[in-house]
Amino acid sequence: MDTVFFIASKVFWTLARPESWIVLLLVAALLAFRRNRPRLGQRTLLTSLLLLLGIGILPLGELLIRPLEQRFPARPEVVDPAGIIILGGAEDARTTEATGLPEVNEAGDRFLAGLALARAHPGARLIFTGGSGSLLDQGVSGADAAERLFAEAGVAPERVLLEGASRNTAENAALTRELVGAAEGPWVLVTSAFHMPRSVATFCAAGWRDVVPYPVDYRGAGNLPFGWDLAERLRTLNTVVKEWIGLVAYRLTGRTEALVPDGC
């Protein structure tokens, strides 16, 4: 069942992402012209143009992402944690495998914060959870990249716990819970701020308790940026639309017990 959900979510997201809306509108306009329906084709082209202009100029993604990022406070107090859990997604596992260098992507703040917390709390385990979230390529695990990064950062191997089979947040929570067993927290959960509400809800539903959300990698903080920047605006909008869809999908399928949680 988990595999069916994983495949369905990937296929659905390919069609639901905002950039796909634009492509579908352009295809619809082309079909309208080919069927001698010029007025429909013109209206569809105008709609796609207005959509592109709106996305490129207006900070739609930033407006939608702020409620998620502001759900939990930045830099919460952390006292004697049992473990620091870094959710996968910040590592560039494929490039790491190709170059031998520990590579990260735009969410690399997850590793920076996790390593800083590990230094501040030397008695805590450093836990990474993440396999491959790719539908087509399951051969590269994020845990392999994380292991190399931790080693080069000087983290003692006996402190590190790696979970490399999970493909999404629900599996992050369930499989990591199996690794730590009945050990008590507090557990510091490190992930991107926009992803924290779904992560906390999922970890709570998987039986975790005493979770301390530690959000990083803010995408909508500061003044709202107006002006033309289609690539960056589209990137942010894709991110937040995917996250809101994920929140609803997880709630409807019982993977969370609350749409936007307060904690557990």
Q: What are phi and psi of 211, to 5 degrees?
A: -95, 130
Question: How many Å apart are CA 45 and CA 54, to the nearest integer?
Answer: 14
Query: For residue 257, what is the DSSP state?
Result: S
Residues 124 and 81 sit within 8 Å (Cβ to Cβ): yes
Residues 82 and 159 sit within 8 Å (Cβ to Cβ): no
Q: What's at 228, amino acid-wise?
A: W
One digit per residue, pLDDT tens: the chain, 264 residues?
Answer: 577 887 888 888 888 899 999 999 999 999 999 999 999 999 999 999 999 999 999 999 999 999 999 999 999 999 999 999 999 999 998 898 889 899 999 999 999 999 999 999 999 999 999 987 665 555 578 999 999 999 999 999 999 999 999 999 999 999 999 999 988 889 999 999 999 999 999 999 999 999 999 999 999 988 888 889 999 999 999 999 999 999 999 999 999 999 988 888
The alpha helices in the chain, defined as continuous H runs, are 2-16, 18-34, 38-57, 60-69, 93-99, 109-120, 142-152, 169-180, 196-205, 230-252
- The domain limits of the chain are 2-57, 75-217
Is this prediction's pTM over 0.85? yes
User: What CATH number has the domain spanning 75-217?
Assistant: 3.40.50.620
Q: How many CB atoms lie within 10 A of CB 85?
A: 30
